[in-house]
Amino acid sequence: MWKLPKQIEQLNQESIEQARMRHDQLTKPPGSLGMLEEIGIRLAGIQGATIPTAEPAAVVVMAGDHGVTEEGVSAFPSEVTVQMVLNFMAGGAAINVLARNAGADVHVVDIGVKADIPLEQVQAGNSGNRLWIEKVRYGTGNMAKEPAMTRDEAEQALSVGWKIGRELSVQGYKVIALGEMGIGNTTASAAIASVLTGKPVPEVVGAGTGLSTEGIRHKSEVIERAIATNAPDPQDPVDVLAKVGGLEIAGLTGLTLACAAHRVAVVVDGFIASAAAIAAVRIEPAVQPYLFASHKSVEPGHRILLEALDLQPLFDFSMRLGEGSGASLALPVLQGAARVLKEMATFAEAGVSDGVS
């Protein structure tokens, strides 16, 4: 089994207690900021600091292709993956806008795009963009017929994610939002969700980029065939990632584990990022308290994954884009939660009478 290069520690209980005490001294009825207080307190535990910070933040968009697209499981062609990578680098995608909105940098990772990224076409968009070329292979195999990748390739993808997480922690990022791009990756995510939660395939399959009802039925059949052909071991998350997963999904799993090991908070995006997160939790359960869930995706399997992750999403905006769009939209909430602990006046400082208990 792939071994964590560095252990994940528990949250700092003393920082949690101190942040909770500080919250009760701030000029508001105790508990009145609700979940915002809990977010700030958890950030304190993650960082081992009474007054945490959620800045600087970055969104890491891992891109990879899926051989299973030859079975007709997506409403869009695979070529869109590389085309969108160019769009991310030029700054014109939704994720660029929402990252700018949050003051976050965008890191785009080619971990398994089917084509080489035409570097001559990569435009320098907003200055915080960076492209990582970390290709493990040119797209996965068609999991309906063969394993998506070898175990060695899955481990390489985990290691790429780990390396990036470690490097970003060294660069000083306090929060990482998980993003992905990969035509066909809701098929892989549904397969992972079914195997790791034990739910029947039809309960975790959805329209992805926009399949019809008939298309969704066909997608379920393809996933059932993929699971029957490869027999992934539900007790071995790396085996599941290798046989029915994706390069960008395994990369996000490694990234998530590295962030937690370096005490960096992780904002999980939609269905695909949550499939990566559940694999991370099954590899190392201690990662769970480092995770925040941004939103509830339209994909029906997402509710099931959020329950399995024991995460409460911050909002439900009927989103189903991916890219890290929901996670980026959640970043200002984490920033607000941290800044409240830092910048609000206490009752004593402001001369406001506190309540009688």
Ligand X SMILES: Cc1cc2nc[nH]c2cc1C
Ligand Y SMILES: O=C(O)c1ccc[n+]([C@@H]2O[C@H](COP(=O)([O-])O)[C@@H](O)[C@H]2O)c1
The residues binding ligand Y (CB under 6 A) are 74-76, 180-187, 208-209, 269-272, 297, 299, 302, 320-323
Residues 204-243: x where in contact with ligand X by CB under 6 A, - otherwise, as a string = -----x----------------------------------
Nearer to ligand Y, 39 or 85 (CB): 85
Nearer to ligand X, 215 or 336 (CB): 215
Q: Which helix (H) or strand (E) holds 215?
A: helix 213-230
Contacted by 299, from ligand Y, ligand X, none: CB < 5 to 8 Å by type: ligand Y
The least distance separating ligand X from the CB of residue 327, rounded to whole angstroms, comes to 13
Single-letter code of the amino acid located at 353: S
322: contact with ligand X by CB under 6 A: yes
Rounded to whole angstroms, the Cα distance separating 167 from 342 reads 27
Q: What is the DSSP letter of 200?
A: -
Stretch near ligand X under the rule CB under 6 A, chosen from 121-129, 197-205, 294-302, 317-325: 317-325
Nearer to ligand X, 321 or 334 (CB): 321
Q: State the pairing for strand pair 291-293/265-268.
A: parallel
Tokens of 251: 């990369």
Stretch near ligand X under the rule CB under 6 A, chosen from 270-278, 282-290, 308-316, 319-327: 319-327
49: contact with ligand X by CB under 6 A: no
Peptide bond into 232 cis (omega under 30): no
The least distance separating ligand Y from the CB of residue 95, rounded to whole angstroms, comes to 10
The least distance separating ligand Y from the CB of residue 294, rounded to whole angstroms, comes to 10
Binding to ligand X, residues 60-99 (CB under 6 A): 76, 80, 84
Q: Is the dihedral of CA 246, 248, 251, 252 positive or negative?
A: negative
Nearer to ligand X, 11 or 58 (CB): 58
Rounded to whole angstroms, the Cα distance separating 240 from 229 reads 12
Q: Is 65 helix (H, G, I), strand (E, B) or coil?
A: coil
Residues 293/309, Cβ–Cβ less than 8 Å:
yes
Rounded to whole angstroms, the Cα distance separating 243 from 237 reads 10
Q: What is the DSSP letter of 346?
A: B
Rounded to whole angstroms, the Cα distance separating 202 from 199 reads 8
End-to-end CA distance of the chain: 53
Q: What is the DSSP letter of 219?
A: H
The least distance separating ligand Y from the CB of residue 193, rounded to whole angstroms, comes to 11
Rounded to whole angstroms, the Cα distance separating 308 from 305 reads 5
Rounded to whole angstroms, the Cα distance separating 19 from 42 reads 9
323 is catalytic: yes
Catalytic position from the list 214, 323, 343, 349: 323
Nearer to ligand Y, 25 or 209 (CB): 209
Nearer to ligand Y, 120 or 214 (CB): 214
298: contact with ligand X by CB under 6 A: no
Contacted by 237, from ligand Y, ligand X, none: CB < 5 to 8 Å by type: none
Q: Is 266 helix (H, G, I), strand (E, B) or coil?
A: strand
Contacted by 140, from ligand X, ligand Y, none: CB < 5 to 8 Å by type: none
- Alpha helices, DSSP H, located in 262-356: 271-283, 300-309, 325-343, 347-350
Nearer to ligand X, 8 or 205 (CB): 205
Task: Look up tokens 């292709």; give the residue.
Answer: 65
Active-site positions? 323
| Interacting residues with ligand X (CB under 6 A) | 76, 80, 84, 181, 209, 321-323
